[in-house]
Amino acid sequence: MAVQKPSLPKGTRDFNPMQMGRRNFIFDTIKESFRLFGFQQLETPTMENLSTLTGKYGDEGDQLIFKILNSGDFLKDVSAEDLASGAGKTLPKVAEKGLRYDLTVPFARYVVMNRNDITLPFKRFQVQPVWRADRPQKGRYREFYQCDADVVGTDSLICELEILLMIKRVFSKLDIKDYSIKINNRKILTGLADVIGEPGRESALCVAIDKLDKIGWEKVKEELAQRDFSKDAIEKLNPIIHLEKSNLDKLDFLKGFLSTSEVGRQGIVELEEVFEFLQSYGEDQSHVDFDVVLARGLSYYTGAIFEVKVNNVSIGSVGGGGRYDNLTGIFGLEGVSGVGFSFGVDRIYDVMEELDIFPQGQLNETKVLITHFDEEGQKYGLTVLKALRDNGISSEIYPELGKIKKQFTYADKKQIPFVIILGADELAGGKVSLKNLETGHQESLSLADALAQIQ
């Protein structure tokens, strides 16, 4: 039998212990903030019925859902005619389930199925992997984690405030200092379409404007022209594209610019209220950037829109979200408004690596290695090991009898900061020798003193 060369599916990765230490540092920071803000954790299954997933992400999204073949003889119901008619006809007969594409649609399904048991407003967070059959490229994977927090069942703008506060707290804890939380309101974009004379076309307008960062205003103008926006309408956007003012000055400018659009004015009022809440809470507007042309591609946002970017790094957005008016309508429960935000953990990891700001030391698991010269020392070492672990100190004993040098090499490679050495003198005196591998300092101590020093 040929030896098989191991490999991974494209767009997936292994995470080694060092990477997992760093990832858990990010996850724990985010979860701790979610809990502090009163969000409760939820988990939903890896797979959902295809009927739950399809039709929720647009045609393009439907193509990117990983389908799961039915178990057993999955072709048993498929006729030659079905095969001849193509995938559309065959698929429903061979696959009934798919891997989850995001956490939002499963959440909507959960809310509808459990509507009698949950207390509204319902604040939930979810940290789980999702799968997309996308073309893998740098920073884009087929399996990745999402970290979502949503509040459903209220249209209070306090929820928007809380999202701003959570982002600020998480980034402060992760020591990311140079970032901006871009915020806008979908109603302002609707208003823009109204006042430039292209009412109802904010979706087309948003798709083009969304590319402003990547391709620049000249190219966006060309794209708008291709989408049949009139020359006059495109020219009217000019002052908006080049609006470089403070948040409050931008709002003042827009009050004039959007004065003829009722929905546009409504968007301004909502944003002003969020900024007022921020002030009442005792927080300033640092890192918060009102971006008049922020237009996240997703079509279901109806109010506030958020996007977080870290400045001066090669990675784009590291999180986003917004307010949606009818998340659960697709499952027959109308009128549930909600607002949510998602942290892109993989991207935050890449940013922190690029900036080299992961905390040193605390992410390495084992704190103490117990070393020994013979069987006597190893037996004594087991009692020391119990004392360490009873005191909550992550520790291990070198499992084999061997040269002390080999045991030290093991500690070095695992970056274990302390080594306890148990030789004949230590055994005779009921003591331990504690060596700090970073400083090289070594001394003979009672076990109690050694414990105090390690802690």
Say whether 260 counts as a known binding-site residue. Answer: no
The span from the CA of 92 to the CA of 75, in Å, is 11
Parse the chain into domains and list their residue ranges.
Answer: 30-41+114-124+159-355, 368-454
Say whether 346 counts as a known binding-site residue. Answer: no
User: Which pLDDT score, from 0 to 100, does residue 299 have?
Assistant: 67
User: Which pLDDT score, from 0 to 100, does residue 365 have?
Assistant: 82
Which residues, 6+ apart, have CB-to-CB distance to 183 below 8 Å?
A: 164, 271, 274, 288, 289, 290, 291, 294, 304, 305, 306
Q: Kindly give the pairing relationship between strand 179-185 and strand 288-290.
A: parallel
Residue of 225, 196, 40 lying closest to 127 (CA atoms): 40
User: Which pLDDT score, from 0 to 100, does residue 311 have?
Assistant: 95
Question: How does pLDDT run along the chain (455 residues), one tens digit per residue?
Answer: 889 999 999 999 999 988 999 999 999 999 999 999 999 999 999 999 999 999 888 788 889 999 999 999 998 888 888 888 888 888 888 999 999 999 999 999 999 999 999 999 999 999 999 999 999 887 789 999 999 999 999 999 999 999 999 999 999 999 999 999 999 999 999 999 999 999 988 888 888 887 888 899 999 999 999 999 999 999 999 898 888 889 999 999 999 999 999 999 999 999 999 999 999 999 999 999 999 988 875 567 889 999 999 999 988 899 999 998 888 888 889 989 999 999 999 999 999 999 999 997 656 689 999 999 999 999 999 999 999 999 999 999 999 999 999 999 999 999 899 999 999 999 999 999 999 999 999 999 999 999 999 98
The span from the CA of 315 to the CA of 138, in Å, is 10
CA atoms within 13 A on the CB side of 92: 6
Token reading at 161: 């405030």
Torsion angle, alpha carbons of 130, 131, 135, 137, to 10: 40
Angstrom distances, CA of residue 360 to CA of 171, 190, 364, 365, 415: 18, 48, 8, 12, 11
Say whether 284 counts as a known binding-site residue. Answer: no
User: Which pLDDT score, from 0 to 100, does residue 8 have?
Assistant: 96
Alpha carbon of residue 370 to chain centroid: 38
User: Which pLDDT score, from 0 to 100, does residue 296 have?
Assistant: 73
Token reading at 447: 């076990």
Q: Kindly give the pairing relationship between strand 95-99 and strand 122-131.
A: unpaired
What residue type is 245 in one-letter code?
A: K
The residue behind tokens 């999955």 is: 74
Angstrom distances, CA of residue 409 to CA of 385, 416, 417: 20, 10, 12
CB 327, CB 108: distance < 8 Å: yes
The span from the CA of 353 to the CA of 357, in Å, is 7
CA atoms within 13 A on the CB side of 71: 0
Say whether 301 counts as a known binding-site residue. Answer: yes
Say whether 281 counts as a known binding-site residue. Answer: no
Residue of 321, 11, 38, 346 lying closest to 164 (CA atoms): 321
Residue 225: beta bridge partners? Answer: none
The span from the CA of 232 to the CA of 234, in Å, is 6
Q: ∠ CA 25-27-31 to the nearest 5 degrees?
A: 120
Would you mind telling me the total number of residues written for the chain in this entry? 455
Say whether 14 counts as a known binding-site residue. Answer: no
The span from the CA of 321 to the CA of 275, in Å, is 17
User: Which pLDDT score, from 0 to 100, does residue 297 have?
Assistant: 55
30-41+114-124+159-355: CATH homologous superfamily?
Bira Bifunctional Protein; Domain 2 (3.30.930.10)
User: Which pLDDT score, from 0 to 100, does residue 253 have?
Assistant: 95
DSSP assignment of 228-240: T--HHHHHHTHHH
User: Which pLDDT score, from 0 to 100, does residue 259 have?
Assistant: 96
Edge-first strand listing for the sheet containing 432-436: 395-397, 368-372, 418-422, 432-436, 442-445
Say whether 323 counts as a known binding-site residue. Answer: no
Q: What is the CATH number of domain 368-454?
A: 3.40.50.800
CB 372, CB 405: distance < 8 Å: no
